Amino acid sequence: MVVMKFGGSSIADGERMLNVLEIVKKQKGRKIVVLSACQFVTDKLVSAAIIAKNKSSKDAQKMIDEISLHHINIINATIKNKKNAQAATELIEGLIAELSNLIDAISLLHELTPAVMDSVFSFGEFLSTTLFHHLCLADNIKNKLIDARLLIITDSNFNNASPMPNIYEKTTRNIINNLANEDIIITQGFIASDTNSKTTTLGRGGSDLTAALIGAAINASEIQIWTDVNGILTADPKKNNDATTVAKMTFQEIKDLSFWGAKVLHPKTILPAIEKNITVKVLNSLNPAAPYTTITANSATKKLIVNSVIAKNNCYLFNMKSDAATTDTTSIYNYASITNLISCDEIREEVSVLYFGYNNGVFTILFEKDEAEKDVKNFKNKNSFMKNIKPSQVLFSEPVSVICISGQNFKSNPIEFTRFISTVSNHLEGFNLHQLIFQYSDSSIIFVVDATQTDKIVKKIHSLIVG
Ligand code: ADP
Ligand code: ASP
Ligand code: MG
- Residue 424 pLDDT > 50, yes or no? yes
Choice from 47, 121, 207 to test ligand 2 binding pocket (greatest atom count within 8 A of CB): 207
Residue scoring higher pLDDT (332 or 436): 436
Question: Residue 332: its pLDDT value, please?
Answer: 43
Question: Residue 402: its pLDDT value, please?
Answer: 92
Question: Residue 374: its pLDDT value, please?
Answer: 54
C-alpha span between 12 and 43 (Å, rounded): 13
- Residue 388 pLDDT > 60, yes or no? no
- Residue 339 pLDDT > 70, yes or no? no
pTM: 0.89
How far does the centroid of ligand 1 lie from the alpha carbon of residue 152, in Å? 25
Question: Residue 266: its pLDDT value, please?
Answer: 74
Question: Residue 343: its pLDDT value, please?
Answer: 61
How far does the centroid of ligand 3 lie from the alpha carbon of residue 238, in Å? 15
Residue scoring higher pLDDT (329 or 19): 19
Section 6-29 average pLDDT? 97
Q: Kindly report the average pLDDT of the chain as a whole number.
A: 88
C-alpha span between 384 and 382 (Å, rounded): 7
- The atom of ligand 2 lying closest to the CA of 210 is 8
* CA 402 to each of CA 115, 259, 260, 354: distance values in angstroms, whole numbers, following the listed order: 34, 11, 7, 10
Q: What is the pLDDT of residues 133-171, one digit of tens each?
A: 999 999 999 999 999 999 999 999 999 999 998 889 999
Question: Residue 354: its pLDDT value, please?
Answer: 81
C-alpha span between 127 and 115 (Å, rounded): 19
Atom 9 in ligand 1: residue holding the nearest Cα: 264
CA dihedral 249→251→253→257, nearest 10 degrees, is 110
Give the number of the ligand closest to the Cα of residue 462. Answer: 1
Confidence band for 336, pLDDT divided at 50, 70 and 90 = low
- Residue 443 pLDDT > 80, yes or no? yes
How far does the centroid of ligand 2 lie from the alpha carbon of residue 45, in Å? 11
- Residue 253 pLDDT > 70, yes or no? yes
Gyration radius (Cα) of the chain, Å? 24
Question: Residue 329: its pLDDT value, please?
Answer: 44
Question: Residue 385: its pLDDT value, please?
Answer: 46
Q: HSE (CB half, 13 Å, CA atoms) of 23?
A: 28
Amino acid at 123: F
Contact (CB, 8 A) for 319 and 395: yes
Name all residues whose Cβ lies below 6 A of ligand 2.
7-8, 36-37, 42, 124, 189-190, 204-207
Residue scoring higher pLDDT (394 or 181): 181
Contact (CB, 8 A) for 77 and 89: no
Residue scoring higher pLDDT (332 or 56): 56
For ligand 3, a single-atom ion, which residues have Cβ within 5 Å? 7, 205
Question: Residue 330: its pLDDT value, please?
Answer: 44
Question: Residue 340: its pLDDT value, please?
Answer: 63
C-alpha span between 74 and 110 (Å, rounded): 33
- Residue 348 pLDDT > 60, yes or no? no
Residues 6+ positions from 2 with CB-CB distance below 8 Å: 27, 29, 30, 31, 32, 220, 221, 222, 223, 224
Give the number of the ligand closest to the Cα of residue 190. Answer: 2
Percent of the chain surpassing pLDDT 90: 69
- Residue 396 pLDDT > 90, yes or no? no
C-alpha span between 107 and 85 (Å, rounded): 32
Burial readout 21-47 (b: 16 or more C-beta within 10 A, e: otherwise): bebbeebeebbbbbbbbbbebbebbbe
Is the sign of the CA dihedral 75, 231, 254, 348 positive or negative? negative
Confidence band for 375, pLDDT divided at 50, 70 and 90 = low
How far does the centroid of ligand 2 lie from the alpha carbon of residue 128, in Å? 12
Percent of the chain surpassing pLDDT 70: 86
How far does the centroid of ligand 2 lie from the alpha carbon of residue 284, in Å? 17
Name all residues whose Cβ lies below 6 A of ligand 1.
7-10, 36, 205, 227-229, 232-233, 235-238, 262-264, 308, 310
